[in-house]
Structure 1
Amino acid sequence: MSKVAVISSNGRVARLIVEELVGRGYDVTGFSREETNASKAQTYIQKDLFDITKEDVADFEVVVSAFGTWAPETLHLHVEVINHLSDIMANSDARFVVVGGAGSLYVDPELTVQLVDTPDFPKEYYALAKAQTDALDVLRKRNDVKWTFVSPAGDFQADGERTGEYILGGEQLTLNSRGESIISYADYALGFADEIEKGNHIQERISLVRK
């Protein structure tokens, strides 16, 4: 049975990822600063993310970062969290799988224009998308970490249904047969768990869209 640590495990996406992993027989430990374990993780450790040490994650085969924040005054934490977790994962055999953002997906074949920089990108989400893009840029410079950055589709639906199907994309913005860039939290969690299981995209960013 593989051991997986999920950091920020009480978040909405994180809880679905935990549930998916537990259902597949994984031994999951959740980390969060809240007193109560809101997920289905079999083990729970109350600890602030920045207090997590190399020793805390030494026994896990996969470490997941499900950290997210949206308030303008806290967006700088996206980069700081990736820096901290990358440092404690450095030169480890464990994989580091990150719940990422859609804004850094590219929209042209030459991979020169990012979704966040297109005219149609909602301005109210620009700062968040830029913070997530900056976090990905930090990972790209880490050759000492076995990271995978998993971006959702552009329309990431918290209450969307679990269809049980998805399209696996790469760096470029991927649309389904209906011309949509959309995925539910539930289907994203499914694809995320599949990536943990298969481990095919080390030091790569992948993306998920509803089929």
Structure 2
Amino acid sequence: MKKVAIIGANGKSGSALVAEALKQGYDVTAIVRNKEYKNDDVKVVHKDIFELTKADLAGFDAVISAFGAFTDATFPLYKKVAVHLANLLSGSSTRLIIVGGAGTLLVDDKGTMAMDTPGFPPEYMGVARAAAESFFELKTKSDVLWTYVSPAGDYDANGARTGKYVLGNDHVILNSQNESYISYADLAIAIIDELKNGAFVQKRFTAVGQRA
């Protein structure tokens, strides 16, 4: 049975990933800072990301980071987390999957990123630019089996698990309703499926789904 560690397992994205990894039969370890977090279905490690060591992550087939920061003061942590985890897994056979943002997805063939377009919501600019830093950081790492995941623009915590999704690479993709949309549950399926498919090692992918 493959072993996967999920960092930030108590968040919305993290808990969807834990549920999906269990559903697909993985041996799951939840890494959380919150000492109150309890989950009898998984092993739980209560530790801050920056206290994690190489030894803590040894033996996992994959480490998935669902870390999120939502204030100006904590935005710089996106890059710091990517650097720290990449350093811990450098030269190892453990995959590093970071769930990031949609802002770096391309909207044309000239390299224009979504976050650089006039229509990009200004209220999301801070988090988009911060999450982008983790992507730019990973792209410099040739000694880490990294994968960066860009959710669709409308990433719906309350959306249904339809069990279906369509994958893309570096460009914004749309569903049959012409929307950049996916539920947390369906993106979790795409991410856990990637553990076995291995189609995006040292690459980024995105996915869209349908509204139920």
TM-score by length of 2: 0.96
Letter of the 2:7 counterpart? I
Following superposition, the deviation at residue 200 of structure 1 comes to: 1.4
Q: Partners in 2 of 1:33 and 1:54 — Cα distance? A: 17
Structure 1 equivalent of residue 191 of structure 2? 192
Q: Partners in 2 of 1:166 and 1:191 — Cα distance? A: 7
Structure 2 equivalent of residue 147 of structure 1? 146
Aligned-partner SS, 1:56: helix
Deviations 1:65-101 (Å, cap 9, x if unpaired)?
Answer: 1100111110000000001011001000111011111
Q: Please, which moves more after superposition, 16-25 or 32-41?
A: 32-41
Q: How does 1:1-211 map to 2 (within 5 A)?
A: 1-39=1-39, 41-110=41-110, 112-211=111-210
Letter of the 2:53 counterpart? T
The answer to whether the 8 A contact 1:18-1:39 is kept is no
Q: Partners in 2 of 1:50 and 1:69 — Cα distance? A: 14
Aligned-partner SS, 2:85: helix
Following superposition, the deviation at residue 24 of structure 1 comes to: 1.4
Following superposition, the deviation at residue 38 of structure 1 comes to: 4.6
Q: Please, which moves more after superposition, 151-160 or 35-44?
A: 35-44
Q: In the superposition, relative to structure 1, how do residues 90 and 183 fare at CA in structure 2: closer, same or farther (>3 Å)?
A: same
The answer to whether the 8 A contact 2:38-2:44 is kept is no
The answer to whether the 8 A contact 2:154-2:181 is kept is yes
Letter of the 1:125 counterpart? Y
Letter of the 1:69 counterpart? A
The answer to whether the 8 A contact 1:106-1:113 is kept is yes
The answer to whether the 8 A contact 1:62-1:196 is kept is yes
Aligned-partner SS, 1:86: helix
Structure 2: unaligned runs, 5 residues or longer: none
Following superposition, the deviation at residue 164 of structure 1 comes to: 1.1
Q: Partners in 2 of 1:39 and 1:203 — Cα distance? A: 31
Following superposition, the deviation at residue 16 of structure 1 comes to: 0.9
Letter of the 1:207 counterpart? T
Following superposition, the deviation at residue 5 of structure 1 comes to: 0.7
Letter of the 2:209 counterpart? R
Identity %: 42
Aligned-partner SS, 2:167: strand
TM superposition outliers: structure 1 runs of 4+ over 2 Å: 36-41
Following superposition, the deviation at residue 41 of structure 1 comes to: 4.9
The answer to whether the 8 A contact 1:182-1:209 is kept is yes
RMSD: 1.1
TM-score by length of 1: 0.96
